[in-house]
Amino acid sequence: MLALGKLLELTLAGREPAEKTQLTVEGVRMRWLSEGALEVRPPEARDNGLDLLLSAGIHGNETAPIELLDRLLHDIARGDLKPRARILFLFGNPEAIRKGERFIEQDVNRLFNGRHEQSSGSEALRACELERLAASFFSLPDRRRLHYDLHTAIRGSKIEQFALYPWKEDRQHSRLELARLRAAGMEAVLLQNKPSIVFSAYTYDKLGAEAFTLELGKARPFGQNAGVNVSLLERSLKQIIEGTEPEMTGEALDGLQLYSVAREIIKHSDSFRLNLPADIENFSELEVGYLLAEDIANTRWIIEEEGARIIFPNPRVKNGLRAGILVVPTTDENLA
């Protein structure tokens, strides 16, 4: 197996490879770009015009997606997986990955779309570098662009595997991409309706990619991910990489639950209080009239929406950041 297929080993060791470019026997070029970043380019005759960005480890303790990308890279380096797409593999926060921590000083996935410019430190610099790498990768004209940013969650979930679909004004969400997500094992998709500062929102908004944050289960340490079943996603990614996907139709959404954002719960001060059990699961339903959260100046979040569910509740975020999202069921009538 080619040494560049061991990108995770290099990243964990904090080493640069001796050779920055290598070719497989099939003529696939693997090129090391920077720490945790590897470009894979198929032979020109096999290139089907897709640019695929696969990122994981934006939060360093979310290891199941990191291990998934590692397996795909090993297969490419051995010649078992024969790409027809250009691919950029990114391990988002190498320092946090090495330490097994979600982040070191600040959450990298809150530093995109200009936020890193308002901050400082190594993770702000890393977010800037990730934007630069993605922008360079997606700079070739007349090609299809797809980005999956792979995560696992801090807590359990009533719906274990789900995706977040970013928003941009005057751009519709794609029924075809939702069908692709359904085939990859996603049980639900949150259709967002406002700008965001996460990585997939940057590539969707600024770079024109179809882009998604994928939540795949609960975060566990390396080697302890037997309970995170990514078999359908792994199969789909291999098909996308090799250009062997079955034909997708927008009708293949059976069983896919769609949600929209009703409200974001923003933590304004250290007085913020989230009235939920510490172990509450994502997608837990909340009754109308429930006092969800309180903050300074008599700020109160009371549930008004029928069928409201909470995702990503986290009262420990920094002031000014989102401490949870209220979502409600929606329909597919506005899909392209």
In this prediction, residue 251 carries a pLDDT of 64
Integer Cα distance of 225 and 297 in angstroms: 44
The answer to whether 183 and 115 are in contact (CB under 8 A) is: no
Edge-to-edge strand ranges of the sheet holding 291-295: 273-274, 291-295, 299-302
In this prediction, residue 332 carries a pLDDT of 80
Q: Which residues of the chain have pLDDT under 70?
A: 249-252
In this prediction, residue 1 carries a pLDDT of 81
- Residue 28 φ/ψ, nearest 5 degrees: -80, 130
In this prediction, residue 36 carries a pLDDT of 97
- Classified by CATH at the fold level, domain 262-329 comes out as OB fold (Dihydrolipoamide Acetyltransferase, E2P) (2.40.50)
Residue 120: Cβ within 10 Å count: 11
In this prediction, residue 250 carries a pLDDT of 57
β-pairing, 50-56 vs 144-153, is parallel
Task: Render pLDDT for 10-62 as a digit per residue (tens, 0 to 9).
Answer: 999 999 999 999 999 889 999 999 999 999 999 999 999 999 999 999 999 99
Integer Cα distance of 324 and 295 in angstroms: 14
Residues carrying an active site annotation = 215
Q: Is the pTM of this model over 0.85?
A: yes
Residue 308 corresponds to which tokens in the numbers above? Answer: 């409201």
Task: Render pLDDT for 106-116 as a digit per residue (tens, 0 to 9).
Answer: 999 999 998 89
Architecture of domain 3-242: 3-Layer(aba) Sandwich (3.40)
In this prediction, residue 249 carries a pLDDT of 67
Integer Cα distance of 68 and 92 in angstroms: 14
The domain spans of the chain are 3-242, 262-329
Question: How far lies 237's CA from each of 1, 8, 88, 124, 159, in Å?
Answer: 20, 18, 13, 29, 21
3 state DSSP class of 240? helix
What does the angle CA 306 – CA 307 – CA 310 come to, to the nearest 5 degrees?
Answer: 120
In this prediction, residue 244 carries a pLDDT of 97
Task: Render pLDDT for 79-107 as a digit per residue (tens, 0 to 9).
Answer: 999 999 999 999 999 999 999 999 999 99
In this prediction, residue 220 carries a pLDDT of 87
